[in-house]
Amino acid sequence: MNPKIADWHGKKIWIIGASTGIGAETAQLLLKKGAQVALSARQADLLHAVAAGHERAVILPVDITDHTTLANAHAYLSQLWGNIDLVLVVAGGYNAMRADQFDLVAANRLIDLNLRGILNCLDVVLPKLIRQGHGGIGIVGSVAGLSGLPKALIYGPTKAAIINLCESLYFDLHPKNIAVYLISPGFVKTPLTAGNDFEMPALITAEVAAKEIVSGMENGEFHIHFPKRFTNWLRLARLLPYRWYFALIHKTTGL
Do the Cβ atoms of 91 and 112 come closer than 8 Å?
no
**87 phi, psi to nearest 5 deg:** -115, 120
Predicted pLDDT at 196: 62
Residue 6 lies in a domain: no
* Domain limits for position 121: 12-253
pTM score of the predicted model = 0.94
Over residues 40-79, the pLDDT tens digits come to 999 999 999 999 999 999 999 999 999 999 999 999 999 9
pLDDT at 195 over 70: no
Q: Is beta strand 204-205 parallel, antiparallel or unpaired with respect to 12-16?
A: unpaired
Residue 190 lies in a domain: yes
Calpha distance 53→167 (Å, rounded): 37
User: Total structural domains in the chain?
Assistant: 1
Nearest Cα neighbor of 169 from 130, 111, 224, 116 is 130
Do the Cβ atoms of 22 and 40 come closer than 8 Å?
no
> Which CATH number characterizes residue 96's domain?
3.40.50.720
Check residue 98 and give left, alpha or beta (phi > 0: left; psi -120 to 50: alpha): beta
| % of the chain surpassing 90 pLDDT | 90
Residue 28 lies in a domain: yes
Residue 2 lies in a domain: no
Residue 5 lies in a domain: no
pLDDT at 15 over 90: yes
Calpha distance 124→87 (Å, rounded): 11
The amino acid present at 140, given as its one-letter code, is V
**54 phi, psi to nearest 5 deg:** -60, 135
Over residues 228-245, the pLDDT tens digits come to 999 999 999 999 999 999
The amino acid present at 196, given as its one-letter code, is N
Residue 248 lies in a domain: yes
Calpha distance 211→157 (Å, rounded): 27
Classify residue 255 as exposed, middle or buried by CB count within 10 Å of its CB (0-12, 13-18, 19+). Answer: exposed
Residue 4 lies in a domain: no
Calpha distance 86→49 (Å, rounded): 22
Taking residues 109-136, report their average pLDDT: 97
Residue 130 lies in a domain: yes
